[in-house]
Amino acid sequence: MNSFTRRRLFGGLAVATSAGLIAMPAFAQLQAEVYVPIAPPAPRIEVVPVLPPERVEIEHWQPGYWRWNGQEHQWVEGHYVARPKRGAVWVPGRWEQRPGGWLFVQGHWG
């Protein structure tokens, strides 16, 4: 497989002051962009289960998507998740074609 992977690592921060060393919360985040040489198949059609009316405002359907497992595309079923706050909107993940191949852009709450 000819794919390009880029990784970035962010660490914590310590600040020196006249009162001593103040430790800031450590943030460790690893991000990788994997460019896939094969276009994903068309999204599958999913049957979305109906929620009871009292759960509509607190849960949201996240549709399924194709994930690259290193050798082939693998379908991840859609599912309901709790909203982080009332009125939050889910922006689904998507595949984008770029010069290095196909890149999956993760879904997120907007």
How far, in Å, CA of 5 to CA of 36, rounded? 10
Quick one: which H or E segment has residue 92? none
Please tell me the predicted confidence (pLDDT) of residue 31: 60
Between 29 and 17, whose confidence is greater? Answer: 29
The CB density around residue 103, as the number of other CB atoms within 10 Å, is: 17
The answer for residues whose C-beta is within 8 angstroms of residue 1's C-beta and 6 or more apart is 37, 70, 71
Per the rule left: phi > 0, alpha: psi between -120 and 50, beta: everything else, 20 is: left
Please tell me the predicted confidence (pLDDT) of residue 66: 96
The CB density around residue 40, as the number of other CB atoms within 10 Å, is: 16
Is the per-residue pLDDT at 11 higher than 50?
no
